[in-house]
Amino acid sequence: MKGISHTLISYLAAAVFLLAIWWGLALLLELPIVPTPDKVFVRLTDVFARDILEHAAYSLWRIAAGLGLAVCIGYPLGVIMGYFRQADRFLSPVVYLTYPIPKIALLPILMLLAGVGELSKILMIFLIIVFQVVVAVRDAIRTLPEERYYPLYSLGASLGQIFRFVILPASLPKFITAIRVAMATAVSVLFFTETFGTQYGMGYYIMDAWLRVNYLEMYAGILVLSVMGLLLFGIIDCFEHVACLWQRK
Amino acid sequence: MKGISHTLISYLAAAVFLLAIWWGLALLLELPIVPTPDKVFVRLTDVFARDILEHAAYSLWRIAAGLGLAVCIGYPLGVIMGYFRQADRFLSPVVYLTYPIPKIALLPILMLLAGVGELSKILMIFLIIVFQVVVAVRDAIRTLPEERYYPLYSLGASLGQIFRFVILPASLPKFITAIRVAMATAVSVLFFTETFGTQYGMGYYIMDAWLRVNYLEMYAGILVLSVMGLLLFGIIDCFEHVACLWQRK
Amino acid sequence: MKWHMNPTDMIAFDHLTVRYRSAECAAAAAIADVSLTVPQGTVCAIIGPSGCGKSTLLRAVAGLVQPESGCVKIAGGKADPKKYRIGFMPQNYGLLPWQTVRENIVLGCRIRHDWHAGREEDEARLARLMAALHIEGLATRYPHELSGGQQQRVSLARSFLLQPDILLMDEPFSALDAITREEMQDVFLALWQEQHVTTLLVTHYVEEALYLGQKIALMAADPGRIARVFDNPLGGHPEQRGSREFFEMSRALREEIRGISAQHAGEGAAS
Amino acid sequence: MKWHMNPTDMIAFDHLTVRYRSAECAAAAAIADVSLTVPQGTVCAIIGPSGCGKSTLLRAVAGLVQPESGCVKIAGGKADPKKYRIGFMPQNYGLLPWQTVRENIVLGCRIRHDWHAGREEDEARLARLMAALHIEGLATRYPHELSGGQQQRVSLARSFLLQPDILLMDEPFSALDAITREEMQDVFLALWQEQHVTTLLVTHYVEEALYLGQKIALMAADPGRIARVFDNPLGGHPEQRGSREFFEMSRALREEIRGISAQHAGEGAAS
Amino acid sequence: GCGTGSQSAGSGKMQELSIGLMPDTDSLPFLIAEEKGYFADEGVKVNLKPFKSAMDRDSAMQSGHLDGAVSDMLAAAFAKDGGFDVKVTSSTDGSYKLIAGKAEPAADVKGLRGKDVSVSRNTIIEYVTDEILAKDGLKGDDINKVIIPQIPTRLEMLQNGKLAAATLPEPMASIAIYNGGRLLKSSDDLGINPGVILFTDKATKDKQKEIQAMYRAYNRAVDYLNNAPREEYIDFVIEKAGFPPAAKEALKLPTYHKAALPKEQDVTDCIKWLNDKDLVKETYGYDDLVINLLGE
Ligand SMILES: Nc1ncnc2c1ncn2[C@@H]1O[C@H](COP(=O)(O)OP(=O)(O)OP(=O)(O)O)[C@@H](O)[C@H]1O
Ligand SMILES: Nc1ncnc2c1ncn2[C@@H]1O[C@H](COP(=O)(O)OP(=O)(O)OP(=O)(O)O)[C@@H](O)[C@H]1O
Ligand SMILES: [Mg+2]
Ligand SMILES: [Mg+2]
């Protein structure tokens, strides 16, 4: 299809563009902190099959679980806050007060309660991104004009039907935006969530490489993380394409 | 006014609710890592005038600068990507590739380029939140139906006028959501951005207290951070109230 | 004057006053102290100047606006869209932009749990209706891909397919050309003659009111109120359409409306 | 047949074909091979069945849809809304929900940089226009706080205030009651007599077309095309409205439309 | 302007030095030297830059904002392997302790076989732990290493019985013991001392004079710390170094040593461990890493 090859070309162009910037910067600075991409790629091919695939798989699982949890809890909460003014009046301050708490500072408590295993990592990702989902979904629904509900109200629709036919589709675009932002956040906080109690995961890999002042491996890890993010973004874009058919221009 | 006292009551209720949870948890766990709120409040009043105000002022300045920078760069970029399909085709992959990079891992480069002073802290905040703004604004504009532009197109409006009369107001609600999310993110990453090259800022304060195993001060700091976030959220809410008058129900 | 409810009245407005909360200030009442009854199985046409509160009246029956005082009763009870099937066709059609034409049409039935996709009789009824309304080829389109008149007919189709207890139609034929309009009026009449749905019909056309409404309510503005209600012997009788009586009646009615309107203008100037 | 442009023609459609890109499939052409000219300073009324492409025709002039083939010319050049002042009143009014009524009305002038808030003559003209359209009390409201007819009049006010070179009105009076409608028609006629704006007017009412249009174009559907164009000596002459000639003419026109429509139905059945 | 500028002024005037410190006991002589004005006495201006994490410190050093830092042998080897030429100039008096939890039945290091012991990975902590284990005939794999990089979190987990044991640096180790933890073995017991002060290669070349002046002040501070009564400086130290208040009673300060080169054994053991774990490819010799600026 023409569309797909178009997309590939533009992704390639973007990759080349970023590589060029990186290369330029590396040549300009001539410091081991900023190695040239070619060296990083060589290292990447060295370590890829051996290490990075496994790390990436762990990270993907944690992101998926954290994001899934955040959606499962955050979406209903956002819907309730967006639709019921009364609920919002009391829940908003709760969210406003808890959102800015640096979740990493709660790590000791989390570890005490949930151990050092997978659970605490997933919970940490969840804690960091659930607020983004809640706020975005709430705002999406709150800005829906009252009139959107009229056809359903006048048909005597139940709450479930109002959700199914109005709230869900109307908030979908904003929800997808929220997922995009939350997903990328989840990828970039791997860095803190995968540093304890594990030897696997891209976050661990990068942090370890950094600690060892092994900038080549660190950049190889960042590169993989970046491609991983791209793939996840691609999945979300495809989902949007299918789910928001009515918005296609 | 009735509205304001209503709001105050609900904020109070939320605060009381959260304190109750905290207190319950503290009593249940009986660990120094989860002190009861009363102790934290006592400590807070002890240290407040002496220290925390100054720390908070530093943090506020950094958040404001980082957020301001993120809006100044991210908003126009988002608008361009949302409005011009061609630009989006090439910029989206760039954003998708760079968004998931853990910005903290770029700290060495950032220090190299911007030193260890204020600039690098503000740039770090900027780097972390600018993507959220870009993606949200882009999505907001992309989901605008073509018809919204018709009145302006048929009047032969210039690009600036289209922006002024359609893009800006139509994307405002989503932009405000983005600011909410970005602001809260900025508050909670203070924790990483204020740990080097400074002795001021809430992030430094909390981190320092943590390393001193001084949980009372750490919680006092988190408390202040939380209230700081609440105030910032309140400002955004007020702004929304004024700016989106046409959406009031 | 005490107001009495007739047991056969399906819709009854009882001293209804509705006021919109405007963004800044307390707006004037959109409709003030309106009392009107529509007997079971009749069509009541509402005519009145723009902004006099016709749509507000329908919204009140559909439970979309809360009365400031007075109330709306359906069959003697509280107007509750969960209890009665209300086919409400709003002035802006009320189509859901994320649903295709077909989904939009069956929406009402789905909400009421009596749509079974694939069941032959349901599908046949849908196909018949869409054919009658000349929208048979548009099933998979989204509303924004339709012309104004096509959107209006989709909205009509939704209300008709629902087989409602009460039909509320807000200028249902306004975006249609004369020929299509007459066809649609006949589709409505056929439906009505089959099921005798109690109907409130807002229209700007005296002929339409006379043709369809057994009862005609004339409204006046500032504040929105009922100026006069009268029975129309010609309503619902297609065969009368070309008659001399019809012509005379429409002329008389037009004069009357002009009178109300002039009187109001006079009042406005005096105040 | 080669098609020639007359130097006094303000708007000219030259074998225009427009096709909408639909979500799934290549849709049929909305209008196919339409040629029509509107001389400078005249009003051309367009009548046709719902969905025949009337709105599409106007959109093409306003530069909102791209022709598949053929073109639209304004004063001999490319139709370009930056070069000419085009007062386009779309079927759904095209009001910006985030602007108040007043802001919406002056929008056109602001875009064209000839609105000076506070300048006495501008303000006076605005006030006059709003009074003529009976929307004088609504200046600070938002569009969603207006009735349908009020919204339509706000949209009318925007087009009129702009003092455009070309006026495109898509069913401009459809949401108005008969009395208001006649008043608005007269407001339009007065304006037209002052400025002789070249106007394309889509309407569903034969009387309206006859009353306002010096030229009348009848359209047919599937595909959208011009069935017949004729000059109307009665157009733009208010004094003729009640005349016998007017009555006869409208009767004849109605018959003709019915004929076109029947013929089309026949074609449809045959195909 | 972080003191790295090489525009040396007149022969008498000395350039500035920037030294990165960590909140541990190794850094105390620097704090004392500054507080007591010993640096000024020697005519050298030393900017002490406190850091909260090793990552931040190393980033600042690698991006050229520090001349030197209180660090460890592993960091020196890693930096060298990563292409940053750094030189170890002296050892410090850090101490790392393997501490068992209050309720942990294991009486000695051997008893930890198969149990949860918390360390941070590929750091001096893991190195010391492995050395301690090796002394008692255990291998690194014989215990279950639980990776917790944040020291306060490690302490908290230990104190709440979620771990059998943990290796902690000072002053956290003293606190853990004070709160009921049992010292199993420390780096002092083994006689290993991987803590070092290191400088960038550039600084060792351009700022020899300054570094030597710094060490003179450092040695005076060591004297002071070893001789002055504890009460005289403990409050200042706790406040300035960022130690927990509990350290006031709990902290047992080591006997500080005047600046001296690290033992050859310490360096080679460390490199061997790194080579064995495949963390560093090169086998650096003593002279690759250590430079003697003290003797001249
Ligand atoms: N955005 C769109 N995408 C696809 N098809 C469209 C779109 N807009 C209009 N059409 C189709 O093009 C044809 C002409 O539409 P247009 O709106 O011009 O009709 P119209 O003559 O104005 O009808 P009406 O009197 O009902 O307003 C119709 O069949 C309609 O279904
Ligand atoms: N949401 C609203 N907020 C404030 N005022 C409103 C709102 N909706 C309608 N109004 C006002 O209430 C009055 C009645 O409105 P309504 O829509 O019922 O009129 P209508 O009779 O249907 O007019 P039209 O024939 O123009 O559709 C109008 O003056 C209108 O301005
Ligand atoms: Mg209405
Ligand atoms: Mg149309």
Q: Which positions ≥6 away from A133 have C-beta within 8 Å?
A: A70, A71, A74, A75, A78, A175, A178, A179, A182
Taking the model in full, what pTM does it have?
0.91
User: In D, what residues contact B, Cβ < 8 A?
Assistant: 59, 62-64, 80-86, 88, 90, 92, 94-99, 107-108, 111-112, 142, 144, 162, 168
Note the helical H segments in chain B: 2-29, 37-47, 53-83, 85-98, 107-114, 118-142, 150-154, 159-162, 168-193, 202-211, 215-243
Strands (E), D102-192: 166-170
Q: What is the mean pLDDT of residues D101-126?
A: 88
The residue ranking higher by pLDDT, D241 or E186, is: E186
Asked if chain E contacts chain B via 3 or more Cβ pairs within 8 Å, the reply is yes
Res. C190: pLDDT tops 70: yes
Please tell me which residue of chain A has the smallest CA distance to C100.
A246
* Local structure of D196: helix, strand or coil: coil
The answer, yes or no, to whether residue E258 has pLDDT greater than 90, is no
Single-letter residue type at E158: L
Residue A52: pLDDT above 50?
A: yes
Residues with CB under 6 A from ligand 1: C 144-150, 175; D 20, 22, 27, 30, 48, 50-56, 91, 224
Task: Label the pairing between strands C43-47 and C215-220.
Answer: parallel
Question: Residue B143: phi, psi to the nearest 5?
Answer: -85, 5
User: What is the average pLDDT score of chain A?
Assistant: 88
Contact state of B245 with C144 under an 8 Å Cβ cutoff:
no
Q: Which chains touch C (3 or more CB pairs under 8 A)?
A: A, B, D
> Among C63, C98, C168, whose Cβ lies nearest the Cβ of A153?
C63
Share of residues in chain E with pLDDT > 90 (%): 11
pLDDT, one tens digit per residue, over E175-201 is: 888 888 888 888 888 888 888 999 998
For the stretch E53-95, pLDDT in tens is 888 888 888 888 899 999 988 889 998 888 888 999 998 888 8
Q: Give DSSP secondary structure letters for D216-267.
A: EEEEETTTBEEEEEEE-TTTT-GGGTTSHHHHHHHHHHHHHHHHHHHHHHHH
Q: How many CB pairs under 8 A join A and C?
A: 65
Nearest to A33 among E63, E147, E157 (CB): E63
Instruction: Using alpha carbons only, give the angle D82, D85, D89 rounded to the nearest 5 degrees.
Output: 110
Contact at CB, D144 and A147, closer than 8 angstroms:
yes
DSSP string, chain E: --S------SSSS--EEEEEE-SSGGGHHHHHHHHTTHHHHTT-EEEEEE-SSHHHHHHHHHTTS-SEEEEEHHHHHHHHHTT--EEEEEE----EEEEE-TT----SGGGGTTSEEEE-TTSHHHHHHHHHHHHTT--GGGSEEEE---HHHHHHHHHTTS-SEEEEETTHHHHHHHTT-EEEEEHHHHT---EEEEEEHHHHHH-HHHHHHHHHHHHHHHHHHHHS-HHHHHHHHHHHHT--TTHHHH--PPPP--S-PPPHHHHHHHHHHHHHTTS--S---HHHHB---S--
Q: Write the residue in E83, E152, E162 that is nearest to A112 by C-beta.
A: E162
Instruction: Please state the rounded mean pLDDT for residues A50-78.
Output: 92
Q: How many CB atoms lie within 10 A of CB E11?
A: 7
Q: Is the pLDDT of residue B15 over 50?
A: yes
Query: Ligand 3 centroid to C207 CA: how many Å?
Result: 18
Q: Give the residue-averaged pLDDT of C88-117.
A: 90
A192: tokens are 């803190």
Q: Tell whether A107 lies on the interface with E, counting CB pairs under 8 A.
A: yes
Cis, peptide link before residue E229, omega less than 30° from 0: no
D131 vs D114: CA distance, rounded Å: 21
Residue E289 has pLDDT above 70, yes or no: yes
CB atoms within 10 A of CB A84: 13
Q: What is the pLDDT of residue E140?
A: 81
Beta-bridge partners for C166: C86, C198
Which residues in chain A are contacts of D23 at CB distance < 8 A?
A: 245-246, 248
Give yes or no for residue A95 having a pLDDT over 70.
Answer: yes
Q: What is the mean pLDDT of chain D?
A: 86
Average confidence (pLDDT) over C92-97: 92
Q: Tokens for E80?
A: 């060298």
Q: Give me the pLDDT at residue D7, please.
A: 56
Instruction: For ligand 1, atom 13, name the residue with the nearest CA.
Output: D30
**pLDDT of E1:** 33
> SS3 for D12?
strand
More confident residue, D262 or E278: E278
> Which candidate in A113, A211, A214 is best for mutational testing of the E interface (most E CBs within 10 A)?
A211
Which residue of D177, D182, D206, D255 to mutate against C (max C Cβ within 10 Å)?
D177
User: And the tokens for B92?
Assistant: 């989206």
Q: Per the CB < 8 Å rule, is E52 touching B33?
A: no
Give mean pLDDT, residues B5-14: 85
Residue C149 has pLDDT above 60, yes or no: yes
Contact B18 A90 (CB under 8 A): no
Q: Which of E231, E266, E259, E268 is nearest to E29 (CA)?
A: E259
Joined tokens for residue B147: 């018809």
Touch criterion met for D and B (3+ Cβ pairs within 8 Å): yes
- DSSP string over E118-167: EE-TTSHHHHHHHHHHHHTT--GGGSEEEE---HHHHHHHHHTTS-SEEE
Distance CA E147, CA A47 (A): 22
**pLDDT tops 70 at residue B248:** no
pLDDT category of residue C270 using cuts at 50, 70 and 90 = very low
Q: Give the ipTM.
A: 0.90
Confidence of residue A116 (pLDDT cuts 50, 70, 90): confident
Half-sphere exposure of C43 (CA within 13 A, CB side): 28
Residue E41 CB contacts under 8 Å (≥ 6 apart), including other chains: E217, E220
| Residues D166-190: tens digit of each pLDDT | 999 999 999 999 889 989 999 999 9
CA–CA min distance D154, chain A (Å): 20
Q: Does E contact C via 3+ CB–CB distances below 8 Å?
A: no
Residues 6+ away with beta carbon under 8 Å from D133: D153, D156, D157, D160, D184, D187
The residues, ordered by sequence, that sit 6+ positions from D118 with a Cβ below 8 Å of its Cβ are none
Give the nearest ligand 1 atom to D48 CA: 21
**Tens digits of residue pLDDT in D49-98:** 998 999 999 999 998 998 989 999 998 888 888 888 999 999 999 999 99
> How many angstroms separate the Cα of B28 from the Cα of each of B32, C219, D8, E154, E161?
12, 68, 90, 22, 17
Least-confidence region, from C1-5, D129-133, E190-194: C1-5
Euclidean distance between CA atoms C45 and A108, whole angstroms: 71
The minimum CA-CA distance between A200 and chain B, rounded to whole Å, is 17
E131-184 per-position pLDDT tens digit? 888 888 888 888 888 888 888 888 888 888 888 899 998 888 888 888 888 888
Closest protein CA for atom 3 of ligand 1 = C145
Residue C202 has pLDDT above 50, yes or no: yes
Is C97's pLDDT higher than 50?
yes
